[in-house]
């Protein structure tokens, strides 16, 4: 019974984080040259990974981000977004777990967030190179992805360290 409650709690939190990711992604959208957009969704992607773990965090990150693409009219990006954002969450979780074994929470979260954002920037660059049949066009989106990554990393670390870390239920 206790395991069922834990799974239900994780599933409920994953649905909540998927919705939060979609809202944060859609709240502010600054277009990039490759028809993508800079947004705040990555901050929730990292937080979801740290709170929910790699499986539920990846599901929440991927589904919420892909839903935001669909709702915002960027349907062509949705499949890539699902995979890239889920991969970001997995990387963020495991980098945090690995680095946290030797360092405190703050540098561990910074390393995890930066690693996840590298996955995002690389993932979209590769996707856009295939989509546009041009690496040079894909690299036009890299500065926007770097800005989004820096913003997402900074916001996720700040929100987790200043707010979420102090909520006892969310600590692993």
Residue with tokens 């994780």: 10
CA-nearest of 62, 53, 54 to 21 is 62
* Backbone region of residue 53 per phi and psi (left: phi > 0; alpha: psi in -120 to 50; beta: other values): left
Per residue of the chain (172 residues), give pLDDT as tens.
778 887 899 999 999 999 999 999 999 888 877 677 789 999 999 999 999 999 999 999 999 999 999 999 989 999 999 999 999 999 999 999 999 999 988 999 999 999 999 999 999 999 999 999 999 988 988 988 998 999 999 999 999 999 888 877 655 4
Other CB atoms within 10 Å distance of the CB of residue 143:
13
Q: What is the CATH number of domain 2-170?
A: 1.10.1760.20
pLDDT at residue 77, rounded to an integer: 93
Spell out the residues 6+ positions from residue 126 whose beta carbon is closer than 8 angstroms to its own: 138
CA-nearest of 76, 79, 52 to 66 is 79
Element (H, E) at 42: helix 41-52
CA-nearest of 49, 46, 45 to 65 is 45
State the pTM of this model: 0.92
Antiparallel, parallel or unpaired: β 30-31 and 37-38: antiparallel
């Amino acid at each position: 019974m206790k395991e069922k409650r834990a799974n239900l709690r994780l599933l409920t939190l994953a649905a909540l984080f998927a919705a939060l990711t979609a809202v944060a992604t859609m709240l502010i959208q600054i277009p990039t040259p490759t028809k993508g957009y800079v947004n705040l969704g990555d901050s929730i992607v990292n937080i979801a990974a740290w709170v929910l773990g790699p499986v539920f965090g990846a599901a929440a990150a991927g589904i919420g981000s892909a839903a935001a693409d669909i709702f915002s009219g960027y349907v062509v990006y949705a499949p890539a977004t699902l995979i890239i954002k889920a991969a970001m969450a997995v990387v963020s979780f495991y980098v945090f777990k690995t680095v946290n074994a030797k360092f405190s929470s703050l540098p561990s979260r910074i390393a995890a967030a930066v690693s996840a954002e590298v996955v995002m920037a690389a993932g979209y660059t590769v996707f856009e190179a295939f989509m546009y049949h041009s690496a040079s066009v894909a690299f036009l989106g890299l500065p926007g992805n770097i800005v989004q990554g820096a913003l997402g990393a900074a916001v996720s670390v700040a929100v987790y360290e200043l707010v979420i870390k102090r909520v006892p239920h969310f600590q692993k």
